[in-house]
Amino acid sequence: METGAKKVNGGYHSVGAFFEKISELPRIITISSIKMGSATRDHDRFAIETSFLATTFSVIQKTEASSTPSG
């Protein structure tokens, strides 16, 4: 398991679409502690800085025991 703090910047619906894309990835990633800031004008659009924690999970595969005995 690995957790990292992340930030994205975009429109409200773009941020939602980003989280949807994460949910469609083949590995398990959980998003928590979402904090959305106030909207700011970015050229002709509004943008929201959004911070969150992303936690990824991996399967740790056991290696097969060596078929040759030691000693």
Note the pLDDT tens digit of each residue in 11-63: 999 999 999 999 999 989 999 999 999 999 978 889 999 999 999 987 777 87
The CATH number assigned to the domain holding 43 equals 3.30.70.60
pTM: 0.72
3-state helix, strand, coil in the chain (%, to 5): 15, 50, 35
Closest CA to 11 of 58, 52, 43, 57: 43
How many domains does the chain fold into? 1
Look at residue 68 and tell me if it is in a domain: no
Asked if residue 67 belongs to a domain, the reply is no
- CA 11 to CA 40: how far, in whole Å? 10
Query: Structural domain of residue 19, as residue ranges?
Result: 2-56
Strand ranges across the sheet with 45-56: 2-10, 45-56, 29-42
Token pair of 43 as six digits: 């050229």
